[in-house]
Structure formats: C-alpha cells, structure tokens
Amino acid sequence: MDSAAGSCNACGATGTALMKLSLGKDFFGRTYDRLSPSTDQSPKWYCEGCSMQKNLQRDFRDILGEVDKLTAGQGSTLSTQEEFQRASLRLREIATILAGAAGHSPFLTAADVTRLIGRMQTTTMQT
Ligand SMILES: [Zn+2]
C-alpha cells in the first residue's frame, strides 16, 4: 500500500493500514459529490476505525439535513414513513456503535446522535 508512510487524517494514527475514502452515495442514495473520486481534490486517508466513523458521520449529516428540512416544513425525503423509519433505525445503530467506541470518535459525539433521535421523536408526534 502506497500510503504506508502516511498517517490517518483524522486521528493521526501511523503504522496501520490506511484507506482512501470515497463516499459515492449518501444515506438516501443520492450522489455525494464532495468526496467522489472525480471531484475529490484533496483525498483523505483514514485508518480502519476512523473510516468507519467517517461513514457514520456522513449518514448522521445526511439525516440531520433532512430532519432540518422536515422541521422547517420543507419537502424532505423523511416525509415518507419508510425513509423516516429507516433513518431512525440507522441513528440508533450509530448511537450503539458510538457507545461501543468510547474515546475513538473524532467526528461525532454520542450526545449529537441522541439529540437528533430526540428531535425525530418530537417530529413524529407533530405529524
Ligand atoms: Zn484514525
């Protein structure tokens, strides 16, 4: 691997396998162009733990954006029961993973996830 001499862009880990992260699709299946190979101007390298966390953060951000739209009364992917359900489950999954990765979550805190789960529960009550 040509990145062997590098370090993880998130936690700075060295001497471990690093992977270049290209996030092709977002949680809702839309093209996520910020880090897609063709438009990615500054590729990042993450160790295994951080790349997993980076994916969690990406899903969290996608869901957060849609919850924001939903609470603002704008059209949102989450206005369908199915997507809302799927996003809720994913958030719980993320919360569980974060709880098990204590001390190694450079991108996301469990408190952020808990807060968003709370917001989604409130939103359900309104509809
Ligand atoms: Zn790392």
Q: What is the mean pLDDT of residues 121-127?
A: 69
Distance 98 CA to ligand 1 centre (A): 15
User: How many secondary structure helices (H) and strands (E) does the chain include?
Assistant: 3, 2
Q: What is the mean pLDDT of residues 10-29?
A: 80
Give the burial class of 121: count Cβ atoms within 10 A of its Cβ; 0-12 exposed, 13-18 middle, 19 or more buried.
exposed
Q: What percent of the chain has pLDDT above 70?
A: 78
* pLDDT bucket at 28, cuts 50 / 70 / 90: confident
CB 17 within 8 A of CB 25: no
* Number of residues that make up the chain: 127
Distance 93 CA to ligand 1 centre (A): 21
Q: For residues 83 and 78, give the distance between their C-alpha atoms in angstroms, rounded to a whole number.
A: 5
Distance 85 CA to ligand 1 centre (A): 31
Distance 37 CA to ligand 1 centre (A): 21
* pLDDT bucket at 39, cuts 50 / 70 / 90: very low
CB 72 within 8 A of CB 78: no
Top pLDDT among 80 and 25 is at 80
* pLDDT bucket at 55, cuts 50 / 70 / 90: confident
| Distance from the first to the final alpha carbon of the chain | 51
Distance 101 CA to ligand 1 centre (A): 12
Distance 50 CA to ligand 1 centre (A): 4
Q: Whole-prediction pTM value?
A: 0.72
